[in-house]
Amino acid sequence: MSTVTVSRIMPKSMPQIEDILREHHELVYRSACIVTGNPDDAEDVSQTIFLRLIAERVLPKNPKAYLYRAAINGSLNVLRARRRQVLIDDNKFFEVPNGSGDPTASGHSTLDDLLSVQLHQAIAHLSPRTVEILMLRYVEDLPEPQIAKLLGRSRGTVAVTLFRALIRLRKLLRTAASGEKV
Partner 1 sequence: MKRDEENLARLLRASSPSAERTELARVRILHRIRSAAASGELPNDNVIDSRSGNLWRRRALPVMVASLALLAVSAALWRSRVSDKSLGAMEGSLSSIIAGQVVRSSAGAILHLKDGSVIEMRPNSELALEPATDGLSIRLNIGSVLITAAKQHSGHLYVRTRDMTVSVVGTVFLVNAEQAGSRVAVIQGEVRVQQGESAKKLQPGEQIMSNPLMQPHPMFEEVAWSRTAKTQLALLQQAATSASLPKTAEAAQPQFAAASIRPVQGERPTRIRCRGIDGELDVASAGFTGTGVPQGRCVGGSVPLLFLVATAYDIPRERVSGPTGSEGQGA
The binder of partner 1 chosen from 7, 8, 10, 22 (CB under 8 A): 22
Cα–Cα distance, 182 to 175 (Å, whole number): 7
Question: Where in 151-180 is the site for partner 1 (CB under 8 A)?
Answer: 166, 169-170
- Window 35-74: residues binding partner 1 (CB under 8 A): 36-37, 39, 42-52, 54-55, 66, 69-71, 73-74
Q: Which class for 93: exposed (0-12), middle (13-18), buried (19 or more C-beta within 10 A)?
A: exposed
Contacting residue, 9, 59, 115, 142, with partner 1 by CB under 8 A: 115
Identify the helix (H) or strand (E) that includes residue 59: strand 58-60
Q: Cβ contacts of residue 51 below 8 Å, gap of 6+? A: none
| 5 contributes a contact to partner 1 by CB under 8 A | no
Q: Which stretch binds partner 1 (CB under 8 A): 87-95, 97-105, 132-140, 147-155?
A: 132-140
What count of residues does the chain have?
Answer: 182
The site for partner 1 (CB under 8 A) is made up of 4, 14, 17-18, 21-22, 25-26, 29-30, 33-34, 36-37, 39, 42-52, 54-55, 66, 69-71, 73-74, 76-78, 80, 108, 112, 115-116, 119-120, 128-129, 134-135, 138-139, 141, 166, 169-170
